[in-house]
Amino acid sequence: MSAIGSDAFEKAYDLSLSDPSRFWDSVAKEITWYKSPRKILDTSDAPHGRWFVDGELNTCYNALDRHIEVGRGEQTALIYDSPVTSTKKKYSFLELRDQTALFAGVLTKFGVEKGDRVIIYMPMVPETLIAMLACARIGAIHGVVFGGFASNELAVRIDDAKPKLVVSASCGIEVDRIIPYMPLLNNAIELAEHKPPSVIVFQRDELEAELSSGRDWDWEAVMARADPVDCVRLKSTDPLYILYTSGTTGVPKGVVRDNGGHAVALNWTMKAIYDVEVGDVFWAASDVGWVVGHSYIVYGPLLKGCATVLFEGKPIGTPDAGAFWRVISEYKVKSFFTAPTAFRAIKKEDPDASLLRSYDLNDFKILFLAGERTDPDTLRWAEEKLEKPVVDHWWQTETGWSIAANCAGLGLLPIKPGSPTKPAPGWRLDVLIEKCESLPSGKVGALCGKLPMPPGSMVTLWNAPQRFFESYFAEFPGYYKTADAGFIDQDGYVFVMSRTDDIINVAGHRLSTGGMEEVLASHPDVAECAVIGVADQIKGQLPVGLLVLKTGAGKKVFEIIEECVQLVRDRIGPVAAFKKAAVVSCLPKTRSGKILRGTMQKIADNEEFRLPATIEDPETLKEIDEVLTQMGLSKARK
């Protein structure tokens, strides 16, 4: 692909680094402020700085009210599509604003004020977005916890955030399985030291929950008695939300996002990165419990004035591997964002994409992938079947939006498989080793962002400023440590190979498991794979491959394994010492699609491990344990 309009990207990127205040000041003018900021960047707040410190605004106003005031009230804001309940519903900006203002009135009647915390423990329903936006409307700080999360993990978050109120639902639905939420929530409150005085429960038709008298309140009943309230004037630096991400100590980290920097950055990314305008339909197939859901189901599209799709379903099984194509076609989605693991699942189920031929995707322009590294084979498959640009981009819960991306709205650059292209405007990346020594192009090290981090990035960890500093800034002074490893090539393209913990040391050679996975994924019968480093007395560590095969794979398992081992030896060389691989039915993942490589490595090394709270299906680890035992790497656990 030839470069298109790359001058626009280069100009934006250069200005964002040479004069960040000027760059972000111009971008901030696209947001409606009660008081426009004059102090664009305050670097006195070490180590990372703060943005728009003297500005005042309201995020909910910018996401809803301002569109109504310029005559777009009847435009579609939210498209709810739930194949698991056979429900479809659209909300205009006016309808969504009115419901949000009403629920904001509910919150105020329960005594929720600016700065109070509200835990939202909800499924993928419109009421979840309404609750989030209502908190933003009155300056309450929401903490969304993935619906169905284990009681103990929810209790930890309740104790950390100390919410004045919890918003929940009677149940969630996983394909064809109903998950009652109230038993989990009741147990969490019993376990927690902090006891939220009130719980508001949205009763779903699929299951009616039993409510506790005096503490629990029915959503519809309290909405019927509520009065709408207007937006509260907030400082740019006031917190918008807390979002918990896993921590190395087992204690989750509460990432805090502010109002001003968040609104400015996300509004800008909708055009600059995703190439959507006011009135376009944008879809992020994620969950509101994750950062992608916060940034690109709720806030980003609504800030820009797009219609956003809220999909309660899966890439396969609701009802088949054509689910995504149906939604894109039915709602004329222009720009679509999902995780590579979703496309690997579709590719495994429907390798020839035969279901795609049933749908009209003429309005669909571009696919974005993030959440896990996009292996070149999945990228090529998606490009071939969709005949559209497929853009890998890289970001984290902590950053809130892209660290590196092919910015479609600034002109697509040539695509290099395996790379999320170049650092996004606002991000200067270096590849570092100990003592902040910078590595030359092509060498693998720790990918780190030069401070200050751009607007929209986290501003602290909730109630943990020292942990914030130690986790992200202490190891490489002057930089944000992404904890991802990779390299930057001679053209400035970033290659994210793995987490820094996934760089393995084989006889003194630092090797990326991501590089080996890239090779394995290129085998025509491999749908998905993972490589872990296991302890070895002689070489320190040895790589082991776990392979998931495509449906209808034509060869015998042992032949595929032999071919995969040879592929790694041919492309990476004998230095990789790659000799062991096994076929499994599926890989253990978090609910956001990340493969649990670290947990599998602990199983292989027969170490104790803590079952991740975010695991999609704990049963998958049993198969991994058994397979690794058969390979002589583990001792099967009971």
256 in any annotated domain: yes
362 in any annotated domain: no
Q: Are residues 34 and 138 in the same domain?
A: yes
427-435: long-range pairs with CB below 8 Å, 24+:
427/403, 427/454, 428/17, 429/403, 429/404, 429/488, 429/494, 430/479, 431/486, 431/487, 431/488, 432/476, 432/479
d(C-alpha 184, C-alpha 167), whole Å: 13
Q: Which of 411, 481, 490 is nearest to 451 (CA)?
A: 481
270 in any annotated domain: yes
Q: Are residues 18 and 80 in the same domain?
A: yes
Which two tokens mark 387? Answer: 């005949």
pLDDT, position 2: 33
Alpha helices in 173-318 (DSSP H): 182-191, 219-224, 260-272, 291-293, 300-304
d(C-alpha 329, C-alpha 343), whole Å: 17
Q: Which of 237, 305, 295 is nearest to 266 (CA)?
A: 295
514 in any annotated domain: yes
Alpha helices in 305-423 (DSSP H): 323-331, 340-349, 376-386
CA dihedral for 357, 358, 363, 367, sign (positive or negative): negative
Q: Are residues 480 and 613 in the same domain?
A: no
Per-residue HEC secondary structure of 405-437 comes to ECCHHHCCCCCCCCCCCEECCCCCEEEEEHHHE
Q: Which of 59, 26, 54, 484 is nearest to 295 (CA)?
A: 59
pLDDT, position 613: 67
Task: Give Cα separations from 167 to 36, 102, 136, 296, 592 (angstroms).
Answer: 33, 15, 14, 21, 22
Q: Are residues 446 and 540 in the same domain?
A: no
Q: Are residues 82 and 227 in the same domain?
A: yes
CB count in 10 Å sphere of residue 1: 11
Q: Are residues 408 and 555 in the same domain?
A: no
pLDDT, position 48: 80
Q: Which of 98, 104, 134, 80 is nearest to 307 (CA)?
A: 80
Q: Which of 461, 377, 374, 367 is nearest to 143 (CA)?
A: 461
d(C-alpha 421, C-alpha 406), whole Å: 5
CB 107 within 8 A of CB 140: yes
pLDDT, position 345: 87
361 in any annotated domain: no
Q: Which of 357, 349, 403, 305 is nearest to 549 (CA)?
A: 349
* Total-model pTM: 0.84
pLDDT, position 147: 87
Q: Are residues 478 and 526 in the same domain?
A: no
pLDDT, position 501: 59
pLDDT, position 401: 98
CB count in 10 Å sphere of residue 583: 19
388 in any annotated domain: no
CATH number for the domain harbouring residue 612: 3.30.300.30
Q: Are residues 122 and 258 in the same domain?
A: yes
pLDDT, position 637: 45
DSSP structural state of residue 618:
T
DSSP structural state of residue 28:
H
CB 303 within 8 A of CB 267: yes
Domain range spanning residue 579? 507-630
- Residue 492, Ramachandran bin (φ over 0: left; ψ between -120 and 50: alpha; else beta): left
**Where does a domain end: 429, 455, 486?**
486
> Which residues make beta-bridge pairs with 50?
42
CB 226 within 8 A of CB 109: yes
Encode 247-264: b = buried (16+ Cβ within 10 Å), e = exposed: eeeeebbbbbbbbbbbbb
**Where does a domain end: 486, 517, 542?**
486
92 in any annotated domain: yes
pLDDT, position 634: 66
Q: Are residues 244 and 125 in the same domain?
A: yes
- Residue 581 host element (H or E): strand 580-583
Name 532's Cβ contacts closer than 8 Å, sequence gap at least 6.
Answer: 513, 543, 544, 546, 597, 600, 601, 604
- Number of domain units in the chain: 2
pLDDT along the chain (638 residues), means of 10: 63 97 97 97 85 97 98 98 97 98 98 98 97 98 90 91 98 91 96 97 97 97 98 98 75 92 98 98 94 97 98 95 98 95 89 95 95 82 95 94 97 93 97 90 93 96 94 94 93 85 61 81 91 80 90 86 89 78 89 79 82 75 88 63
Q: Are residues 546 and 468 in the same domain?
A: no
Q: Are residues 481 and 521 in the same domain?
A: no
Q: Are residues 448 and 566 in the same domain?
A: no
CATH number for the domain harbouring residue 145: 3.40.50.12780
Strands 141-146 and 117-122: parallel
CB 35 within 8 A of CB 5: no
436 in any annotated domain: yes
**Where does a domain end: 486, 521, 539?**
486
CB 535 within 8 A of CB 605: yes
Encode 68-91: b = buried (16+ Cβ within 10 Å), e = exposed: beeebbebbbbbbbbbbeeeeeeb
